[in-house]
Amino acid sequence: NQNDELAIDSIVDKFLGFENFIKLEKLPYDKIHHVDMHMRLLDEETILIGEFPEGVADGPQIEENIDFLLSNFKTSFGTDFKIHRISMPADENGQFADENGACSDIGKGCYYTYTNAFFINELILVPIYFDGVGMDQVALNQWRKLMPGYKVVGIDCSEIIKEYGAIHCLTKEIGVVDPLRIVHKRIEKICPEEKSEVSAKI
């Protein structure tokens, strides 16, 4: 109910400092309901979205959630979010997690994901499932294209995904005591012959 939602918003604001806490409808077949299983913020303006074949598994609800997000929210810079897609692979049997079950059931589709990645400084660890070939290689190449300057490494998650999570679900950052954060809007156009001003929040 609305009171519960306001109470949750208050807790999130108190502990995390979020003034705008966006909540999306949960997906019907994602057993753990972690948004990082199908969505990953690459920066303040860019979201990588796991994409199923049309009408398959959680695909329809993900699309509804993205429509809701884009129709109701802006980035912290007041701009529209940029959306990139990355395929959600079927398991080794060609199945997706859907009404027929999940991967803990023998012969059922696992919730394989390439968005459940983890950033460590200039390194990005991306879950892979098929020895780094086929869809794994396509996903790694897509990550590299989207994140120039980062080293992207695939980590075999074919066994741990059966516990309903991959790299991001099973890791936790250890931050510095006094962190420095510098953020600015992405520079879209720059002319080398002219001076350009960049405003940053530090």
CA dist 93 and 109 (Å) reads: 7
Task: Check pLDDT > 90 for residue 4.
Answer: no
Q: How many CB atoms lie within 10 A of CB 137?
A: 14
φ, ψ (nearest 5 deg) of residue 132: 80, 10
Residues 6 or more apart whose Cβ sits within 8 Å of residue 115: 36, 37, 38, 39, 40, 48, 49, 50, 86
Query: Given this model, what pLDDT does residue 107 score?
Result: 52
| pLDDT averaged over every residue in the chain | 89
- Tell me the mean pLDDT in the region 191-200: 81
Least confident of 15-24, 88-97, 121-130: 15-24
Query: How do residues 171-185 score in pLDDT, each as one tens digit?
Result: 887 878 888 889 988
